[in-house]
């Protein structure tokens, strides 16, 4: 098989395309995060209900990813990813004209289904096309693009909401995403190592069962569930303490604070490179510890310490996700990689929805301290999963990097 090597034109085109695809997906998915406070006030609903704009989209995305793999195996990776990005962008433009909260939620559910094609297939595409020696680096770029996309979406929406309205903000984001989606389609190299498999429920069921029966993969699925869940919970509700004493920050300033999430892009790329030298279990533990310390720092009451905490938290989360994403392709069997990736992302985004929503309950009852307590407890659980998979892999398959 002919794999894409670092330093080649195809590698650079893949680099750019993955950055564009991640930017579109995560700008659309998490851009409205800064509007949770706005929706809560405008529609007179509680924070956990307002957060359904994020949770409903991620649930729809997570469930859809299980089935989109069947079509990508039959129709090709690039086609599914490209159509997914284009449809999600067009739906953003439509969402800008939502007349009420119920319509907004319904369209976000449809959008979640539409955008599922990119994250479900991107890891599989990279695993098939990029050489094994470079998969850690390019996976770090893909994950880092999610931080960049989240930042771009939040800044566009928060700034334009302050200047105009949330409708105008989402409209502009949709147009921006549409342009990026077209560029993705132009630049991404065609698959060379893709093997077409006919549409078959039996093939799909076999692949899903195989991915679920693998005990080592189950540990990694659990990590994804907890890690994205705590990440979304923190950033869903950070605008509530920031808009109150002692900070009193405006919507625009809160949006620009998400620039510190870009530190996470550096962390994901760095940890992706470090997988070539150090064990994934050690790197995962370090990344989770960074997130734990960062979460605690948001309780300080000092803006500078809070910002440093956000940087540490984002860096730790994205580094951990980068390492876990690469781990999936190593642990899964050759014929079940696509299904294992989809299952990982199913748990990943389900955690985003459930834990993200639960954070609103903790916020309403116990304030910001309650949210951080929940996050820290779940991060400790994720460390236990890392220990579990490390021991299991050492016992069963010592040749797999752990």
**pLDDT tens by residue, 150-182:** 788 888 898 898 889 999 999 999 999 999 999
Q: What pLDDT does residue 108 have?
A: 96
The gap from C-alpha 197 to its chain's centroid, in whole angstroms, comes to: 28
User: CA 193 to CA 163: how far, in whole Å?
Assistant: 48
Q: Is the per-residue pLDDT at 210 higher than 90? A: no
Q: How confident is the model at residue 257 (pLDDT cuts 50, 70, 90)?
A: confident
**75 cis-preceded (ω within 30 degrees of 0):** no
CATH architecture, range 9-396? Up-down Bundle (1.20)
Mean pLDDT taken over the chain: 85
- What is the CB-side half-sphere exposure of residue 285 using CA atoms within 13 A? 13
Average pLDDT, integer, range 302-314? 91
Torsion (CA) 228, 264, 151, 255 in degrees, nearest 10? 90
Which helix (H) or strand (E) segment holds residue 235: the answer is helix 215-237
By the 10 Å C-beta count (0-12 exposed, 13-18 middle, 19+ buried), 9 is classed as exposed
- Segment 292-299 mean pLDDT: 96
Find the range with the poorest average confidence among 34-38, 57-61, 134-138, 302-306: 134-138
pLDDT at 287: 92
Instruction: Please give the DSSP secondary-structure letter assigned to residue 2.
Output: -
Cβ-contact 170, 158 below 8 angstroms: no
Instruction: Tell which wins on pLDDT, 309 or 319.
Output: 309
pLDDT value at residue 103:
94
DSSP calls for 208-221: HHHHHH-HHHHHHH
Whole-number percent of the chain with pLDDT over 90: 36
Q: Which three-class secondary structure state does DSSP give residue 130?
A: strand
Are residues 314 and 148 in contact, defined by beta-carbon separation less than 8 angstroms? no
Question: 98 in the Ramachandran plot: left (φ > 0), alpha (ψ -120 to 50) or beta?
Answer: beta
Q: Residue 162, Cβ neighbours under 10 Å: how many?
A: 17
pTM of the model: 0.75
- Where are the extended beta strands (E) located within 57-207? none
pLDDT at 220: 93
- Among 300, 302, 345, 297, residue whose Cα is nearest residue 321: 345
| pLDDT, mean of residues 278-300 | 91
pLDDT, position 372: 97
**Burial (CB count within 10 angstroms: exposed 0-12, middle 13-18, buried 19+), residue 123:** buried
360-379: average pLDDT: 95
Instruction: List the domain boundaries for the chain.
Output: 9-396
pLDDT in tens, 17-49: 988 999 999 899 988 888 888 888 888 888 888
81-84 long-range Cβ contacts below 8 angstroms, 24+ apart: 81/21, 81/117, 81/118, 81/121, 81/122, 81/125, 81/184, 81/188, 82/181, 82/184, 82/185, 82/188, 83/117, 84/114, 84/115, 84/116, 84/117, 84/118, 84/121
- Residues 46-81: pLDDT tens digits? 888 888 998 899 889 988 887 887 777 667 788 889
């Amino acid at each position: 098989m002919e794999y894409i090597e670092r330093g080649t034109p195809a590698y650079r085109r893949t680099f750019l395309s993955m950055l564009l695809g991640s930017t579109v997906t995560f700008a659309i998915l998490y851009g409205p995060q800064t509007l949770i406070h706005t929706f809560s006030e405008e529609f007179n609903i509680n924070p956990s209900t307002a957060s359904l704009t994020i949770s409903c989209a991620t649930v729809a995305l997570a469930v859809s990813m299980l089935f989109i793999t069947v079509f990508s195996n039959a129709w090709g990776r690039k086609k599914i990813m490209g159509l997914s990005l284009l449809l999600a962008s067009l739906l953003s433009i439509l969402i800008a004209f939502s007349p009420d909260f119920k319509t907004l939620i319904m369209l976000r559910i449809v959008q979640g289904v539409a955008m599922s094609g990119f994250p479900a297939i991107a890891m599989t595409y990279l695993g098939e096309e990029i050489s094994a020696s470079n998969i850690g680096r390019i996976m770090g770029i893909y994950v880092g693009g999610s931080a960049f996309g989240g930042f771009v979406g939040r800044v566009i929406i928060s700034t334009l909401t302050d200047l105009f309205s949330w409708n105008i903000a989402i409209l502009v984001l949709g147009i921006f995403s549409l342009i990026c989606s077209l560029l993705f389609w132009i630049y991404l190299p065609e698959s060379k190592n893709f093997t077409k498999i006919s549409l078959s429920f039996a093939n799909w069921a076999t692949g899903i069962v195989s991915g679920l029966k693998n005990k080592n993969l189950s540990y990694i699925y659990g990590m994804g569930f907890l890690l994205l869940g705590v990440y979304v919970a923190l950033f869903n509700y950070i605008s509530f303490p920031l808009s109150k004493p002692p900070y009193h920050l405006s919507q625009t300033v809160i949006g620009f604070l998400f620039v510190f999430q870009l530190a996470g892009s550096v962390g994901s790329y760095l940890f992706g490179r470090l997988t070539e030298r150090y064990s994934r279990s050690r790197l995962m533990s370090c990344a989770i510890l960074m997130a734990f310390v960062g979460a605690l720092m948001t309780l300080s009451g000092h803006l500078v310490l809070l910002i440093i905490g956000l940087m540490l938290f984002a860096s730790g989360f994205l580094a951990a996700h980068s390492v876990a994403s690469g781990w999936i392709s190593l642990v899964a069997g050759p014929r079940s990689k696509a299904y294992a990736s989809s299952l990982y992302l199913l748990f990943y985004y389900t955690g985003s929805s459930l834990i993200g929503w639960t954070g609103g309950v903790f916020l309403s009852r116990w304030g910001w301290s309650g949210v951080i307590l929940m996050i820290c407890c779940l991060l400790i659980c994720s460390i236990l999963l890392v220990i579990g998979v490390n021991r299991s892999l050492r016992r069963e398959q010592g040749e797999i990097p752990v």
